[in-house]
Amino acid sequence: MKKIEKESALVVLSGGQDSSTCLFWAKKHFAFVTTVGFDYGQRHKKELDCAANICKSADIPFTVLPLPLLNSITKNALTNPTVSIGESPATTLVEGRNMLFLTYAAIYAKTQNISHLITGVSETDYSGYPDCRQAFIDSLQKTLRLSMEWDYIIHTPLMKLDKAAVWKMADELGILDIIKQNSLTCYDGIIGEGCGKCAACGLRKKGYEKYLEMKEK
């Protein structure tokens, strides 16, 4: 994909590995990039701090939008500290999160005269999250266009990539250390390499080790 001159893009940014990698992918491909994050009562607000710091280092605007209702109508380990983080995806599934994030991002984007939306979802390392699939993205893009009569294009740079390939992309973008040290993927809220025990950390670490093996060959 060549750089889209005179085009702007809005990245949905959580401060995690995937969305942060997408941020720099967007910076490479679009003339102007801005970002939006959501305060939805998540267990670890530090992810918003990570997102803000990464944006500051990249000289990219970051806007946080409040979305408190989500926390009150769904019960899961990422919004409710009384729910333990288990091995099952069901404990960390925030129902409707990506749909709401992209919908509110789309509304905000239109006010900024932006039609390109970027999200870091992936169906390759599918973990039981239905809103990370391409079929969902295609459906939502059509719905957003119909609901607001705006030619939205939702980009999913990581959709077909496993975690090793995401690390490879970060390395090719020259941001490997930024992602490794400054992003927050851990379900226990530990920045960088994380706790090393939760499912998110396991997937991240396994992907990194696989990428290093590929790089050495």
Q: Which residue has the tokens 């970051």?
A: 62
* pLDDT higher at 157 or 196: 157
For 124-159, the pLDDT digits (tens) are: 865 667 888 999 999 999 999 999 999 999 999 999
CB atoms inside a 10 Å sphere around CB 71: 18
- Residues 116 and 134: their CA atoms lie apart, in Å, by 16
CA gyration radius, the chain: 16
What is the torsional sign of CA 31, 33, 22, 7? negative
pLDDT tier, 93 (very low <50, low <70, confident <90, very high otherwise) = low
Task: Give the model confidence (pLDDT) of 24-63 as tens digits.
Answer: 999 999 999 999 999 987 767 889 999 999 999 999 999 9
Are 30 and 8 a contacting pair, CB within 8 Å? yes
Whether the pLDDT of residue 78 is over 60: the answer is: no
Is the distance from CB of 115 to CB of 145 less than 8 angstroms? no
The answer for residues whose C-beta is within 8 angstroms of residue 81's C-beta and 6 or more apart is 43
35 φ, ψ (degrees, to nearest 5): -135, 160
Helix 17-29 and helix 46-58, axial crossing angle in degrees, nearest 10 = 20
**CA-CA distances (angstroms) from residue 138 to 25, 93, 110, 133, 146?**
20, 21, 19, 9, 13
Q: What is the fold of 7-162?
A: Rossmann fold (3.40.50)
Question: Residue 2 pLDDT more than 50?
Answer: no
